[in-house]
Every structure is written in structure tokens, then in C-alpha cells.
Chain A
Amino acid sequence: QKEVEQDPGPLSVPEGAIVSLNCTYSNSAFQYFMWYRQYSRKGPELLMYTYSSGNKEDGRFTAQVDKSSKYISLFIRDSQPSDSATYLCAMRYSGNTGKLIFGQGTTLQVKP
């Protein structure tokens, strides 16, 4: 079993829809949770960062962490065609190694 599981999709939605992306993980020692966005033929870029449990909002994006269920989510409100990309969840243990474990990534297409 992988440490981090993420449905690869693809996920196709109409413009303006609310998008929900999810990851589950197996190791309760993970403390830092991130979402990266990767456009085609580019490297991933950090989108959202959360420490431990709770919610974090940034514009149209909301990240949620539920450590009791080992489940994290990314919500995109009023989705736009420019949101079309692959979204990767990532997490790491406490300490400062910087070593991130990534999910497989979910490919999202937002149709105009």
C-alpha cells in the first residue's frame, strides 16, 4: 500500500463548478500537508500549505486536513479553465528534512 493515495482522475467539470480533490494517507506521523499544481510540461508549484489539522483558505482555494480520518481535501470554487492542471497532494513528517511524499496527482480539466 502506498503511503499516500490519490485518485488520478481525470476529472472534467464545467466552468464555474466547485471542485473537490482528495487524498488519503496511512502514516499518522505526517504533520505538514501541501497541494501542488502542475501545468502540462512544467514542474509542480506550491499552491496551498497546511500544518496539522484544520482549514486554510486562499481566494478560491480551500485546503482541509482531517488527521483523525487521515484525509485531506482541496476545494476550488468558481473553477476556471486556467485551473486545468494536475493537482498533487504532498505531505511530510515533523522535523526539517524537507522530504515530501507525493500522491499520484489528479488531472483536472475545466471546460469553458
Chain B
Amino acid sequence: DAGVIQSPRHEVTEMGQEVTLRCKPISGHDYLFWYRQTMMRGLELLIYFNNNVPIDDSGMPEDRFSAKMPNASFSTLKIQPSEPRDSAVYFCATSRAGSTGELFFGEGSRLTVL
């Protein structure tokens, strides 16, 4: 398996623009997580899905952030409008029900909002 695939790897945009980050999970994994990593705050859980259903979105910072998982093979995290404080590395991670709960991470999408 190719692992968790994220795109784009790097995104530079201007304040106010819409940003869409994409994730293709590992086939057969039931859980999908979106994390954000910054130097100041470390790795923060934004939202996670189980079998394509959002379970906990309490980490989503505000209404500008939204996430969807239309099917088992694809998820998006959208920021609209983007702000400079959204600059971070966004990770998608997946895990399989019944396992130890190990998360498999993608390589991340590095977002810079100017």
C-alpha cells in the first residue's frame, strides 16, 4: 500500500483565499484524522471521522474550517477565508478499528498564508 497520500505538499496563498487540502487514506482503515502542527502548539487534533462520519470536531478552531469525507477513499480540509495564523503543517492520519490504534500519517501539507 502507498500509505496515506496528501496533497498539495506545499501551498502558499494570500490572506482571504480559500485553501483545500486533500487526503487519500490507507485502504481498509476506518478512522481518519486531521491534525495541525505548529512550533508553538505542537500537534493538535482538528477533527476525526469513523466510517466517513465526523465523530469529533471540537478541535476545529472556528467556522472558517470545514472537513468532509464523502467516501472511504477521500477527505478534504477546507479553510475559507484563510488567515496568516492558519500557517502550519496539516497532517492527515488513519487507523484501523481493532488495532492498537496506531496512526499512520501522511507527509503533511505545509501551508503558508501571507
Q: Which A residues contact B (CB, under 8 angstroms)?
A: 6, 8, 32, 34, 36, 41-46, 49, 88, 92, 96-105
Please, how many residues of chain B have a CB less than 8 angstroms from a CB on the other chain? 26
* B81-114 contact mask (Cβ, 8 Å, vs A): 1 or 0: 0000000000101010110111101111010000
Chain B positions within 8 Å of A103 at CB level:
42
Name which residue of chain B comes closest to A100, CB basis: B103
* B20-46 contact mask (Cβ, 8 Å, vs A): 1 or 0: 000000000001010100000111010
Give 13 A-B contacts (CB < 8 Å), ordered by A residue: A36-B103, A41-B108, A42-B107, A43-B93, A49-B102, A88-B42, A98-B31, A98-B48, A98-B95, A99-B33, A100-B103, A102-B43, A104-B43
B55 at the interface (CB under 8 A from A): yes
State the main secondary structure of chain B at its contact with A. strand
Nearest-neighbour CB distance to chain B for A87, whole angstroms, equals 12
Q: Which B residues contact A (CB, under 8 angstroms)?
A: 4, 31, 33, 35, 41-43, 45, 48, 50, 55-56, 91, 93, 95, 97-98, 100-103, 105-108, 110
Number of A-B pairs, beta carbon distance below 8 Å: 63
Name which residue of chain A comes closest to B102, CB basis: A46
Q: CB within 8 A of B101: which of A8, A92, A102? A: A92
- Cα–Cα, bound, A36→B54 (Å): 25
Name which residue of chain B comes closest to A107, CB basis: B39
Given A42-B107, A96-B97, residue A104 in contact with residue B42 (CB < 8 A): yes
